[in-house]
Structures are given as structure tokens and as C-alpha cells.
Amino acid sequence: MEIRTLFISYVIWLFFVRYLTITGLGPFGSFARDISTFMLGKGLGPAADLMEDRAGGAAKTWFAHGIFWFIIAATLSFLGMWTAYEPNALHSLGAIGYSPSEAQATAAIHVVTAFGALSMMLMAAGFAMQGRLSGGRMANEATTALIAFAWSAVVAAGLILSHTDLIGTSSWFELPPVYYILLTLLALPLFANHLLTMANSGSPVMIPQWFIVMGYAAFIWLGAVSMFLLGGENHTLSWLLVKVLFGGWLLSQALGIAHHVIPSALGVPLWSRSLATLTLFGTFLTFSPLGAVASVPSMGPFMQAMVAILLSLSLVPLIATVVNLTKTASGRVMESYGVKFTILGVMLLIPISFGSLFVSVSAFGGGNELAHIASTLDTLALWGVFGMIALGSAHLLFPQVTGRELFSCAKTKMTFWFATVGIVGFGTSQFIVDYVNNSIGAADVSLALEEAGVSAVGVGDVQAFAAIMFYGVALAGVFAAQNMLQGSFRGAVLSDGAPAPNVITAQMAISGTTSIRNLLSAGAGVDTVLTVDGGSSGGRISLSDISPTEEVSEEADADAELEEEESEQPVVEIPGNLSKMLKAELVELAKAAGVSTTGTKSDLVDRLSA
Amino acid sequence: MSELPEMTQGQEEPAGSTAVWTLSLVGAFAFMILYGVLYPNHPFPGLGDILPLFSELGSSVVWFFIAGIILGLSMLLAMLVGESIAE
């Protein structure tokens, strides 16, 4: 099947899901809601009673499974890197029947990393986020938690299958296509649960929710279309599947969570709504450069040009994301480790995407001249971008679903530094290995070396260093898991999950209905004035702040002191024509009035007028 | 009548205690070195049984890394069991 037809079917399916989401399951109406509610609940029979239907229960279970697979996946990745340095390192395990080929080991890493660790952690964060944005809980928590066990079982089965002769040659989709159908079948009720949760809440759908829902749509399409692989080897289809796996599924989930975690943790609204919308559409309507290892040996010049354009356009939403989220967190990144992890992951998007773009363009029907760095770029995208955002969500959203803080701040710091140093150290050293090996392995270079009677030493030690650096990521997973586990039992109890805003939006418009939680997340404070324009159903709510930022958080403590100080301060009369005064005069006046004397003339006028 | 506290464990952490456990560690390492000097051909009891185990596995350093992960996972399991029982 042609890539054009497949991509058009993908886009039509996404627009259909968007229509369903906007209309709250629209044409299917209440029947669809009732049948979904039944199927997710009592339809399962006794199995539905296995898990407690408690708010946050689903996300907690998915996080627990996700962090377990995170450790396994990071360990397998480390071993893959180590065996590149020392191929016989694990040969002694052959005595107990474990002696995978390179292709089998790679397939195992792919299935556990993409479908186990990262998918499960990002899905967990999606449930936690969806619950908070839609009235406090998912439509059905118990069944969603139960599916986490089934998903883990399928990932474990994939891990075993990847060590057999059943694996194929399709990159990232090495297992038999029916395996991916199984994952899609498990994702369907989760997708329905998200739709149902949003339909029940009645709140306007926010940008992070769009990312999550559309990501599920992409994942379901992925499983269904992978069946075409049964028809034999198809490079174009494999290429598209990898692009949708990385861009439509993993990237969309990660971006959705990043767009929630940063504003939610800091209590500030997103810097730009238009950039967030651009990111949303751009993510799904372009080909992601991530997943650089996928290649198509030959392709016509027209399709090559079209794909190159769509690949290049994908940088627009990525750059928009980085600018939007860094501006949102501007100057306040250090306040939360959840934000630190997330911002680091988001910022790594730029260099990794640029590198992957060059590789992807040359890999689609071109000479694939940069194939030697493709695998490293994919590993960096998985662990540096998605892995860091997943860890960020675990540090922010896991405490919210358990109701307890993480156990140890020291372990949180260790997790951050081990992961950061691990990713950066691995990336730099592995690129050295890739380039040197590629140069030494080139036909003309090896011929010249042979003629000169020189044998190249290679970069084995640097390869070992890269593997050791990556070991830090596996350790970060262990520390995060310990912190989460102990925190869920013995962490300090969270008082109120609502974020405390200390930068309040000057003006903001929200259409449709909303909840107090959403208003708080958007930056409203206790002194924010709500003005309703228009009718009660179709009107707009605009928020305007009447209180300075710092006063909100410190107001209670400072009230008594302020009253005392006010009674002692001399009364200064502020003239009406402030803008006509000289700056020096304004500074004197500000001193006398006891307000800050810094800033421009207009700042001083504003301050004195206030 | 005043009741005696159930716990008499102190909460203080005097600076001297840090010096004590640092010296203890240094002493333990010194003892191990001394043992190696005095009995060069004798494997260290306990440790001497563990190190050859790694060499049996293929004399690769990777086993130390794998041991670290296994230790981490074991600690996780122990925590899970311990916390569940404590609950």
C-alpha cells in the first residue's frame, strides 16, 4: 500500500477522533456513554472487583508497572551497549540457555523500552492528568488499573518472543504483527475511558488532553495498520509505523504531559495558547524526525520531496513547544524537580530533532549516509526526551495520585543527576564511537590502512565509557522506584493538591464551562475577579487580577506586620501628573512612599499610581 | 505520677559520631590490607568466595554492573514486602 494512502487514512482517523472528542461522543450520544461505562465496569464480571475503584488508583498502578519496566529497559539497553564493546561479556549465560543474537537483543530492547517502560509511564501520567482536569478521577479507575497487569503481561510476552526466531526485520516492529494488535486491543478501553471521562466532566478540552486523546488514536491506528506487514516486507509501511510510533504516540503523550506538568507545578498558565495549538496540529500532521533508524531504500523524487517537506515542517511544532514551555517556566525551573526533568527533556528535543531530521531525510529514498548515528539519536530521543519527561511526571503526578509526597528529596536529586549525567555522557561518547567506527570502517580508509600496514585501534574504551554513562539512567530508575515506593507508604501527606499560584494572569478568557481546579491551574487566585460576559451557557469568563503576585502566597503571614507598618509610615500625597515629572523626582517620591525605586520611569509611574 | 517514655532513643547526632564511623571504616579497610600483606596466598574469608564467582561468570566487569541492578531490584522488593507488613 502506498504511503500516501496510509497517511491520508491516518489523518482522516485523527480528524474523526477530534470530532468525537469535541462533540462528547457526539453522534453516539448517551448510548455510547452507557455502553462504554458498562463495558468498563460491570461488563467485566468478577474481574471488575479485583481492583479498587478509587480516584488515582489507575495512574498509581500504571506508574508502578511503568517504573519497573523502566529499570528493565534501561538495564537491557546498557547491556546492549556493553556487548557492543565486549561481545562475549554475557556468553556464560549460554549455560542456562540465554544467548540472544544481536537482532534478538535489539528487538527485546525495542519492545520493552517503547511499549513497556515509556508507554506505561506516559500513560500513567496521562491518567493522572486526565483525572485532575476532568473532575478528580477517570470514568473508571478499577478496570484501567486492571489493564496495567494485562499490558505488563503482554510486554513480558514480547520480551520472551523477541528471543525466538519469530522476529522479523521491520525496524522497531520486529515481533509478529498480531502482537501489536493485542496492544491495540488493550489500548481501546483506555481510549474509551479517556473519551468517557472528558464527556462526563463537561469541561472544555484543554491542550494536554488533546495530546493524550489524539495520541491514543494514533496508537490504535498503528496496531491496525501493522497488520499489513503480514503481506510481506514493506519498507514504506515500516517507515511510517516507526514515525507514528515516535511522533504520533510517544512524542504526543510526552508533549501532552509536559504541557500539563509545567503550568500545573508552577501555578502559571501556558505562555502562549497559539503556540500550544500549533504544536498540537503540527505533531500529528507532519512526519516526526524522531525514529531516525527507519529507512526506505528507494523512492520516487516527488515522494522524497513531499516527505522531506513534512519532516522539515515537523521542526516548527517542536521549536514552538520548547519556546512556549521554557517561557512558561522562565526563571522558575529550579522550584520543582518535576519541572527540571520535564524542561530538560523538552530542551533536548531541539538538538535531537535537528540531528534526526538530517538522518531521516537521507534515509527516505536517499543514500542513508548518516545511518551510523541513527541508533544513537533514537536512544537519545527515547531516554533523553521521553524518559526525562516520564520521570518528571512521576516526580510531580505520582505524589498527587497517592496523596503522599515522595520519600526522599536526596533520592530525587540523585535521580535527576544520574539521569542527566547519564544521558549527556552517553550521547557525547556514543557519537564519538559512531563517527570513528564509521570513518575507520569506510572502504577507502580501511584499504589505505591495510596498504600502509597499520591497524586501527578503534574506540572500544569510549564505547565502554558510553555504556557506563548510560548505566546512570538505569540507576536513576532504581532510585526513582525506591523513592516512589517508600513515598507511597511513608511520604508526608499532601494537604491539598491544588497548585498555589504566585504569578497570576492579568487577563485570561475561557469559553464554555470550567471547574475551580481548572481556574486554579490556570493561575486564578483567591482575589481574582471573575467577570461573566454574555449568557450563562455560551458566555465567556474573563479573569483579571487585582492582587500583586507575592502578596497572594505571603498575605496571611504578612497581614499583621503590614497593619503595624502602615500605621507607622508617613502619609505621602501622590500628585496626579506623574508622567510629567522627571525620573529623579519620581525616585524621590517612590522613596518617600516606601515603594521600590528600581525600573524605568514608566515602572515607577505604574507603581506610584497603584 | 509521671509515665516513663516508651522509647529512650536519643535524636542527637554529635559530630564525634561521624568521626567514629569514619575511623571504623578506615580500620576495616586497614585490616583487609594488613590481612593481604600478612597472608598473601590466602583468599579473604567470604569475599574470597564471591570474587571468583564473578570470574566464573566470564571475567567481565559487566557482572558488577548487573549485580548493582540486581541489588537495587532486591532492595525494591524488600521495601515492598517490608512496607506492606508494616502497614
Q: pLDDT under 70 in chain B at which residues?
A: 1-10, 46-59, 87
| Angstroms from B55 CA to nearest CA on chain A | 10
User: A491-542 pLDDT, tens per residue?
Assistant: 888 764 444 444 444 445 555 566 676 666 666 666 666 655 444 444 445 4
* Nearest-by-Cβ selection for A478 from B57, B69, B80: B69
pLDDT at res. B53: 63
Q: Tell me which residue has cell 531516525.
A: A292
pLDDT at res. A503: 44
Q: Tell me which chain B residues have a C-beta less than 8 angstroms from the C-beta of A69.
A: none
Which residues, listed in sequence order, are joined to residue A533 by a DSSP beta bridge?
A: A540
Question: Amino acid letter at A115?
Answer: F
Q: Tell me which residue has cell 545511518.
A: A371
- DSSP secondary structure, A47-114, as one string: GGGSS---TTHHHHHHHHHHHHHHHHHHHHHHHHHHHHH-TTTTGGGGGGT----HHHHHHHHHIIII
Q: Tell me which chain B residues have a C-beta less than 8 angstroms from the C-beta of A90.
A: 58, 60, 62
A474 touching chain B per CB within 8 A: yes
pLDDT at res. A499: 42
pLDDT at res. A237: 86
Is the separation of the CB atoms in A168 and A174 below 8 Å?
yes
B85 touching chain A per CB within 8 A: no
For residue A504, give every residue at least 6 positions away whose Cβ sits within 8 Å of its Cβ, in sequence order, or none.
Answer: A523, A524, A525, A528, A545, A547, A549, A552
B80 touching chain A per CB within 8 A: yes
Q: How far is CA A347 from CA A24, A321, A353, A377, in A?
A: 34, 9, 10, 15
* A-chain residue closest to B87, CA distance: A489
Q: pLDDT under 50 in chain A at which residues?
A: 496-507, 533-540, 542-556, 566-568
* Nearest-by-Cβ selection for A78 from B56, B65, B80: B65
Distance CA A56, CA B67 (A): 34
Q: State whether B69 and A489 contact (CB < 8 Å).
A: no
Tell me the torsion sign for CA atoms A85, A450, A371, A161: negative
* B-chain residue closest to A72, CA distance: B69
Q: State whether A486 and B79 contact (CB < 8 Å).
A: yes
A71 touching chain B per CB within 8 A: yes
Q: Tell me which chain B residues have a C-beta less than 8 angstroms from the C-beta of A482.
A: 72, 75-76, 79
What is the pTM (predicted TM-score) of this model? 0.76
Chains A and B form CB pairs within 8 A to the count of 51
